[in-house]
């Protein structure tokens, strides 16, 4: 359910974030000017095809982008519990300040529960490790907390599972363990990078329910990255649609689903089969392919696949996010309307 109350102060403000990869073949602009606000007790879904930069954007927040990726511009302002603000984009890599925020204030879970846990360390140890890192507790207390957490995320026989190795657990159980680990220090923001993609459908629903429940319980902000519209419809409060490193449309989940403004969002929504839809209708697909990351189209990056592309306008300059209907969209269809006024 979408929340009606809107807290004034966001947890994290991302402004003009640009993260580039300097490869041998050229510069890949994975994130190219993203503005986003993330609020407490609210779920922000980042929607987009694979390769659109959503994961890199999320990783930029925690500063865990692997080389040769680098934040080249922009700011990521985090407002901590004591009211101070930290620009994560400028924090020194590996600094105490950054490490204290990681895992404690902002936690992250990943797509591959198979490979995201250390392969030869016991589950329990990997959880207590995080607890001992950030909280002043003894080892025995940490173990108790960890077992409670395993119980809370729905792992049966948590005391026994504490001593299990990751390869002894199923995918769903591993993802639950990952969530337990992420929540071990009661973070204020949980970033979930496609947490259900690698899981089967029934497990997916369970994991999403669990995240939603825990969000309410801990009043934390959630940033959920997905390419699955079904997931968005189920859990999102706000939605941001990304294409080639940019947010092309953002708004609350109802507005986006009811009246999408950006042609890309519309195309995405239309490409999903609907219950009760005409049987003989062919499912529309977005024409063409995502351009090669080293061959970014000039102007609006979507114009090469857009049915409404206007020669002389869309290839000249880049559209910026502009209020359009109930949402904000980065498209000249709306900008020209405004300039015409």
Partner 1 sequence: MTDQTIQLGNGGMQPDDTGAMPDLLGPRALMWRKFRRHRVAYLSLWVVVFIYAMALFGEFLATTDIQQTNRRAPFAPPMSIHMFVEGEDGSRQLLLHAKGLKLTLDPVERRRTFAEDPDKVIPLGFFVKGFDYHLLGVIPMDRHFFGPVNPKDRVYFWGADRLGRDIFSRIVMGTRVSMSIGLVGVAMSLVIGVSLGGLSGYYGGWVDNAIQRLIEFLRSIPTIPLWMGLAAAIPLDWPPLRTYFVVTIIVSMIGWTSLAREVRGKFLSLRGEDFITAARLDGLSDWQVIRLHMVPSFSSHIIASLTLAVPLMILAETSLSFLGIGLQPPTVSWGTLLKEAQNIRTIIQAPWLLIAPGSVIVLAVLALNFLGDGLRDAADPHAH
Partner 2 sequence: MLGFIYRRLLYMIPTVVLVSVVTFLIIQLPPGDYLDTLAAELSDSGGLDAGTMEALRERYGLGQPFFVQYWKWISGIVLHGDFGLSFEKNLPVGDLIWDRLGWTFAISLLTLLFIWAVALPIGIYSAVRKYSFGDYAATFFGFIGLAVPNFLLALVMMYVAFKYFGQSVGGLVSPEYLDQPWNWDKLVNLLQHIWMPIFVVGTSGAAALIRIMRANLLDELYRPYVVTARAKGMSEFQLLLRYPVRVALNPFISTIGWILPTLVSGEIIVAVVMNLPTTGPMLLRALLVQDMYLAGSLILIVSLLTVLGTLISDLLLAWIDPRIRYQ
Residue from 93, 273, 292, 340 touching partner 1 (CB under 8 A): that is: 292
Report the nearest approach of partner 1 to the CB of residue 314 (Å): 8
Instruction: Mention every residue, 6+ apart, whose C-beta is less than 8 A from residue 312.
Output: none
Q: How many CB atoms lie under 10 A from the CB of residue 118?
A: 13
Residues 16-55 that bind partner 1 (CB under 8 A): 24-26
Token duo for residue 122 = 């016991």
How many residues make up the chain in this entry? 341
Token duo for residue 191 = 């970033």
Tell me the CB-side half-sphere exposure of residue 77, using CA atoms within 13 A.
13
Residue 156 interacting partner from partner 2, partner 1, none (CB closer than 5 to 8 Å by kind) = none
If we measure between CA atoms, which residue out of 173, 183, 166, 15 comes closest to residue 89?
15
Interaction of residue 67 with partner 1, rule CB under 8 A: no
Distance of CA 124 to the CA centre of its chain: 26
Where does this chain touch partner 1 (CB under 8 A) — which range of 10-18, 80-88, 132-140, 293-301?
293-301
Residues 94-133 that bind partner 2 (CB under 8 A): 94, 99-104, 107-108, 110, 112, 115-121, 129-130, 133
Interaction of residue 196 with partner 2, rule CB under 8 A: no
Report the nearest approach of partner 1 to the CB of residue 286 (Å): 11
Nearer to partner 1, 207 or 331 (CB): 331
Report the nearest approach of partner 1 to the CB of residue 297 (Å): 5
Site string for partner 2, 34-73 (x = CB under 8 A): -------------------------x--x-x-x-------
Q: How many CB atoms lie under 10 A from the CB of residue 280?
A: 5
Give the integer Cα–Cα distance in Å for 307 and 169: 47
In the β-sheet with 246-252, what is the strand arrangement from edge to edge?
106-109, 189-193, 221-226, 43-47, 238-243, 246-252, 327-329, 322-324
Q: What is the dihedral of CA 105, 111, 113, 115, to 10 degrees?
A: -100
Interaction of residue 305 with partner 1, rule CB under 8 A: yes
Residue from 45, 145, 181, 247 touching partner 2 (CB under 8 A): that is: 181
Q: Which residues bind partner 2 (CB under 8 A)?
A: 59, 62, 64, 66, 94, 99-104, 107-108, 110, 112, 115-121, 129-130, 133-134, 165, 167-168, 178, 181
Q: Which residues bind partner 1 (CB under 8 A)?
A: 24-26, 288-289, 291-292, 294-298, 303-305, 309, 311, 315
């Amino acid at each position: 359910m979408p929340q009606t109350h809107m807290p004034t102060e966001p947890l994290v403000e991302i402004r003009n974030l640009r993260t580039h990869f300097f490869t041998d073949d050229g510069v890949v602009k994975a994130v190219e000017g993203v503005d986003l606000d993330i609020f407490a007790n609210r779920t922000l879904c980042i929607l987009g095809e694979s390769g659109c930069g959503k994961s890199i954007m999320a990783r930029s927040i925690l500063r865990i982008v692997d080389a040769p990726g680098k934040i080249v511009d922009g700011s990521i302002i985090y407002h901590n519990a004591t009211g101070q603000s930290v620009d994560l984009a400028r924090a020194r890599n590996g600094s105490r300040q950054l490490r204290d925020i990681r895992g404690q204030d902002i936690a992250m879970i990943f797509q591959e529960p198979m490979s995201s846990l250390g392969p030869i360390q016991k589950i329990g140890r990997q959880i207590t490790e995080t607890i001992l890192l950030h909280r002043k507790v003894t080892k025995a207390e940490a173990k108790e907390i960890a077992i409670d957490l395993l119980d809370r995320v729905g792992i049966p026989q948590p005391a026994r599972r504490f001593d299990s190795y990751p390869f002894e657990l199923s995918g769903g159980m591993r993802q639950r363990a990952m969530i337990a680990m992420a929540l071990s220090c009661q973070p204020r923001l949980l970033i979930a990078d496609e947490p259900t993609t690698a899981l089967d459908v029934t497990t997916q629903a369970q994991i999403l329910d669990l995240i939603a429940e825990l969000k309410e319980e801990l009043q934390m902000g959630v940033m959920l990255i997905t390419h699955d519209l079904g997931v968005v419809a189920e859990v999102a409060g706000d939605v941001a649609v990304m294409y080639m490193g940019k947010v092309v449309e953002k708004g609350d989940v109802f507005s986006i689903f009811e009246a999408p403004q950006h042609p890309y969002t519309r195309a995405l929504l239309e490409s999903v089969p609907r219950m009760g839809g005409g049987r003989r209708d062919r499912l529309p697909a977005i024409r063409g392919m995502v351009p090669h990351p080293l061959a970014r189209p000039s102007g609006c990056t979507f114009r090469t696949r857009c049915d409404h592309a206007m020669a002389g306008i869309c290839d000249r300059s880049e559209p910026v996010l502009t209020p359009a209907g109930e949402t904000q969209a980065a498209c000249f269809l709306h900008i020209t309307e405004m300039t015409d006024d």
